[in-house]
Amino acid sequence: MDLTAEIEKNVGLALSEDIGLGDLTASLIPGEENATATVMSRENAVLCGTEWFEACFRQLDPETRIRWFISDGETVRNGQTLCEISGSARALLSGERTALNFLQLLSGVATHTRRYVEAVAGTGATIVDTRKTLPGLRLAQKYAVHCGGGTNHRLGLFDGILIKENHVIAAGGVESALRAAEKIALPGVFIQIEVETLDDLKIALNAGAKMVLLDNFDIDGLWEAVVLNTRLTNKGTVLEASGGITLENVRTVAKTGVDRISIGSLTKNVKAVDLSMRFSPA
């Protein structure tokens, strides 16, 4: 996926929000003044967001030069220097906060995702994100999930059909909802249905569901769901666990044999990574 246009849009809006009609404090610095700065990590993390970071400075000064010592998706250590920046002092000062906001946020998503991915390593389960993203930053956060080793669910309501509880009720039942979805799904659009009980799972499997979301099933319920899927479809249906997943229980969930585990907190409850940008002495 080419994110160039999305990055430019994200950064343009963020800079406009912060700078408005002009950075009053940066105007204290002569316009012809140049500067050099470095960015350092103050904790162990997974780096993500370098293109957003660069765009913040290049939209302000196209001549800004940035040299990275590490790439998106790589692990950084506490105290490690991430990059060196040189260019207009005013541009560096005006873009600093916005650039760090993107880098810290997206690195936070990637880092959080990596912890879940490592927690289920060897089980065969895949960690999946959701639509619980910050408004306007969905593609950025889903890119960060990818950098952390996770997998993206649908991007939005337009590229996949997820039949949830209220859709099922409105459609008249699990099978009716699936049949209605099959009639409107274009080629390449997946259909997934959410179930809350083993009885509804059985109906979905017998109706030919190819992807089922097991909503808030307890561990015993997940084990039973996997057994039922094996018996009825020979594991032909993808089962996804969701709801109440934490780092403490995710491996237990994965060991039940579900194929995917979707976690809203990957993009919703984000702790930004602690990064610092410091100017070098003149």
**pLDDT digits 0-9 by tens, 26-68:** 999 998 999 999 999 999 999 999 999 999 999 999 999 999 9
Catalytic annotation, pick one of 54, 215, 240, 259: 215
Catalytic annotation, pick one of 42, 65, 77, 164: 164
User: What was the pLDDT predicted at 164?
Assistant: 95
Maximum alpha-carbon separation in the chain: 74
Q: Nearest to residue 119, comparing CAs of 99, 154, 148?
A: 148
User: What was the pLDDT predicted at 281?
Assistant: 74
- The residue ranges of the chain whose pLDDT is under 50 are none
Q: Are 247 and 120 in contact (CB under 8 A)?
A: no
Report the predicted TM-score, pTM, of the whole model to 2 decimal places: 0.95
Domains of the chain plus CATH, in order, are 4-117+270-279 (3.90.1170.20), 121-268 (3.20.20.70)
User: What was the pLDDT predicted at 109?
Assistant: 98
Q: Are 204 and 178 in contact (CB under 8 A)?
A: yes
User: What was the pLDDT predicted at 250?
Assistant: 98
202 catalytically annotated: no
65 catalytically annotated: no
Catalytic annotation, pick one of 132, 154, 251, 268: 132
User: What was the pLDDT predicted at 282?
Assistant: 58
